[in-house]
A and B are shown apart, each in its own frame.
Chain A
Amino acid sequence: MRLIAENLAGERGGEPVFSGISFSLEETGALVVIGENGAGKSTLLRIVAGLLHPASGAVRLEGGGETWPDVAAASHYLGHENAMKPALTVGENLGYWRDFLGEQHLTVDEALDEVGLAGIGHLPFGYLSTGQRRRGAIARMLVSYRPLWLLDEPTSGLDARSARMFSALVNAHLGDGGIVVAATHVDLGLREAAQLELGPVPSPHGAG
């Protein structure tokens, strides 16, 4: 499986934020997107996820077969928001996503165990602290399998120990043949990650 982005250009509100971005990631490949605030990291990830249209260029997935026909279908997207309902319990939230997203992987309890939230599945999601909510959202990526993880500031709100736990999860995912694209300000502790720096002015950079 290969994730290929060719000559991507993105705009926000009609203003170009980056252009000429090309990269290609094989299985076990990771790409870390860095850059200042407003450099277009989130925009780039949303374009890769298929949630935004690129101003030019294209993203495609090769060798996904019938199970993973396109990038959106093969991706977990961890955005700024956690995509969990405060009024439902953590367990209900994860159970829902497990059913809805398909390709079931870990059970809800196993996933909560992995992210260090064991024993609080019965609490409403709204009662959790910021870091616990983030870990809940990370558990969502474990209950259903996707080869491609798109992570937008994945460790925001996490303490040092949880951030290490998250690095281990991402490295394990890469070890299983996954692909990771992460936008971040901090070192995620990924091994052999390519870097892509988005500049403040539209200037072509490539990586991978």
Chain B
Amino acid sequence: MLALYLRDIRLGLRAGGGAVTGVLFFLALVAVIPFGVGPDLNLLARIGPAILWIGALFSSLLGLDRLFQGDRDDGSLDLIVMADERRMLALSILVKCLAHWTTTALPLIVATPLLGLMMNMDATAVGVTTLTLLVGTPAIAFVGATGAAVAVALPRGGVLVSILVLPLVIPVLIFGVSAVDGAIGDPQPFMPPFLILIALTLFFAVLGPVAAAAALRSGTD
């Protein structure tokens, strides 16, 4: 399984991997917001966490369709499905999701503090936003695996994957942003939404790969 993880990391980083695309999209999206909203620093600071979360969400969705597409195109997916007995398919998918997250979402999280400064967020807000992204973005990859597995047989599945996955990741967005709000504004608590965010990630870590495995098994043609 480590071999699969390392291979996918290498593929993500080498020529044509999705890692750079996602980060550039994230940077572009968040960098444009202050120009559109105007120089109201208080307003930027207030909407900053939400903008960062939405940016990270869409950047993560951007590369999801490639999660299985490459393996399907070159026949590797057949062998991964056939190895089910020795390497449980759901576990292989979990490992692929983790590798995908490492190459696409982790760079976004590293870029978040920098972009937080552009949104005039204070140190606490930046720190908490980064933390919630770190905890919440894996859930997007796990849910996305299901969408990617369903759409893998379609030639232009990218948009379909995003549309399938988006409703399922809305709770992640809601609890991610409300945890940040809780940490900045006193009246709301921080821990409950943060714990729910962790719960969502853990829940999808189990459900996503199992559902994706079922979709891949029935979808091979």
Instruction: List the interface of chain A (C-beta within 8 A of B).
Output: 46, 49-52, 69-70, 72-73, 75, 77, 79-88, 92, 95-97, 99-102
- Enumerate 27 A-B pairs (CB-CB under 8 Å) in ascending A order: A49-B82, A51-B78, A51-B220, A52-B220, A72-B82, A72-B84, A73-B85, A75-B82, A79-B78, A80-B75, A81-B78, A83-B74, A85-B11, A85-B70, A85-B74, A86-B74, A87-B15, A88-B7, A88-B11, A95-B3, A96-B3, A96-B6, A96-B7, A99-B2, A100-B4, A100-B87, A102-B83
Contacts of A51 in B (CB 8 A): 78, 81-82, 220
Partner of A85, one of B1, B76, B85: B76
What 1/0 mask marks residues of chain B from 48 to 84 whose CB sits below 8 Å from any chain A CB? Answer: 0000000000000000000000100111101111111
Given A52-B220, A92-B7, 11 other A-B residues pairs in contact with their CB atoms under 8 A? A72-B85, A73-B83, A80-B75, A82-B74, A84-B76, A85-B74, A87-B15, A96-B6, A97-B79, A100-B3, A100-B87
In angstroms, how far is the closest chain A Cβ from the Cβ of B135?
A: 29
B39 at the interface (CB under 8 A from A): no
Residue in chain B with minimal CB distance to A102: B86
The B1-48 residues at the A interface (CB cut-off 8 A) are 1-4, 6-7, 10-11, 14-16
Contacts of A92 in B (CB 8 A): 7, 10
The B71-111 residues at the A interface (CB cut-off 8 A) are 73-76, 78-87
In angstroms, how far is the closest chain B Cβ from the Cβ of A17?
A: 13
Contact (Cβ within 8 A) B82 A50: yes
Contact (Cβ within 8 A) A101 B79: yes
Complex alpha-carbon distance, A95 and B7, angstroms: 10
Closest 6 CB pairs of A and B: A81-B75, A99-B3, A73-B85, A83-B75, A72-B82, A83-B76
B186 at the interface (CB under 8 A from A): no
Contacts of A81 in B (CB 8 A): 73-75, 78
The B169-196 residues at the A interface (CB cut-off 8 A) are none
Contacts of B80 in A (CB 8 A): 100
Complex alpha-carbon distance, A102 and B6, angstroms: 16
In angstroms, how far is the closest chain B Cβ from the Cβ of A199?
A: 23
Complex alpha-carbon distance, A85 and B80, angstroms: 14
Contacts of A72 in B (CB 8 A): 81-85
Complex alpha-carbon distance, A88 and B73, angstroms: 15
Residue in chain B with minimal CB distance to A74: B85
Partner of B16, one of A73, A75, A87, A97: A87
Interface residues on B, range: 20 to 34
Contact (Cβ within 8 A) B220 A77: no
A69-B78 contact in complex given A99-B2, A100-B3, C-beta closer than 8 Å: no
Contacts of A70 in B (CB 8 A): 85
Contacts of A95 in B (CB 8 A): 3
Residue in chain B with minimal CB distance to A79: B75
Residue in chain A with minimal CB distance to B73: A81
Complex alpha-carbon distance, A24 and B79, angstroms: 24
Contact (Cβ within 8 A) B221 A77: no
A85-B83 contact in complex given A51-B78, A80-B75, C-beta closer than 8 Å: no
Contacts of B79 in A (CB 8 A): 77, 83, 97, 101
In angstroms, how far is the closest chain B Cβ from the Cβ of A44?
A: 14
Contacts of A46 in B (CB 8 A): 220
Contacts of A52 in B (CB 8 A): 220-221
Contacts of B81 in A (CB 8 A): 51, 72
Complex alpha-carbon distance, A143 and B2, angstroms: 18
Contact (Cβ within 8 A) A84 B74: yes
Residue in chain B with minimal CB distance to A13: B221
In angstroms, how far is the closest chain A Cβ from the Cβ of B87?
A: 6
